[in-house]
Copies of this chain bind each other. A is one copy, B any other.
Amino acid sequence: MLSTSPSLDALIAEFSRLPGIGRKTAQRLALFVLKRPRQEIEHMAAALLLVKDNVRTCSVCCNITEDDPCSICTSSKRTHEVICVVEESNDVFAIERSNEFRGLYHVLGGSLSPLEGIGPEDLHIRELLDRVSGDVEEIILAMNPNVEGEATTLYLTRLLKPFGVRLTRIARGIPMGSDLEYTDAATISRAFEGRIAL
């Protein structure tokens, strides 16, 4: 860098490591840090380390948590008979935001990707199978609609079918608020396949 401060250069380098943060954004963030009161930045630094110290994986659903089992797994307000299987923790956030689903989750920790060397043993599939007991009535697969997600859905379907539990997958179709005109052919094709009777 061409700044006149090695400390600032170091912070810019640290910010640049973050996903989606390029050189210029990192520079802007570092200059922002410079301008803020020290106390505020101390809070930020402490928050970074607290996350590393406090956050772990729920032994039941494999979602991130501070208490084990997590607050979703232990909640009496949720339907314990339905498990929604997702790839990552941020998928849980996204689904919770919709306020649509009131069951439990299971976080796989990724999706099957032979190209990246991620096989079934790298995902929390064993833990999922352990949960499929008499209590569970439905398992909803909510993988991302891409090649890896589809492969994972297919793999889990084969694995879970023998348990005789109800197995579903969230719908693919035209997203709300969009235009048919600008929707890609694959999505339209899925929307037609998944049409429902009125």
Copies of this chain present in the complex amount to 2
Q: List 10 A-B pairs, minimum CB-CB distance, nearest first.
A: A45-B45, A2-B96, A7-B54, A11-B47, A4-B70, A14-B47, A7-B50, A14-B44, A38-B52, A4-B65
- Show the binding face of A for B, using Cβ within 8 Å: 1-8, 10-11, 13-14, 17-21, 25, 27-34, 38, 40-55, 58, 63-66, 70-72, 88-90, 92-93, 96-97
A64/B2 contact (C-beta < 8 A), A28-B20, A51-B30, A51-B33 known:
no
> Interface of chain A, helix or strand or loop or mixed?
helix
Looking at A31, A33, A55, the one whose CB has the most chain B CB atoms below 10 A away is A55
Seed contacts A20-B28, A38-B49, A45-B46; 19 additional CB < 8 Å A-B pairs: A2-B93, A2-B96, A4-B72, A4-B92, A5-B66, A7-B50, A7-B54, A7-B66, A10-B50, A10-B51, A11-B50, A18-B32, A19-B29, A20-B25, A21-B29, A31-B89, A38-B52, A41-B51, A48-B48
Contact in complex: A49, B42 (CB < 8 Å):
yes
Looking at A28, A49, A58, the one whose CB has the most chain B CB atoms below 10 A away is A49
- Chain B residues with CB under 8 A of A46: 45
- Chain B residues with CB under 8 A of A31: 88-90
A33/B20 contact (C-beta < 8 A), A4-B72, A5-B64 known:
no
A55→B81 CA distance, assembly (Å):
56
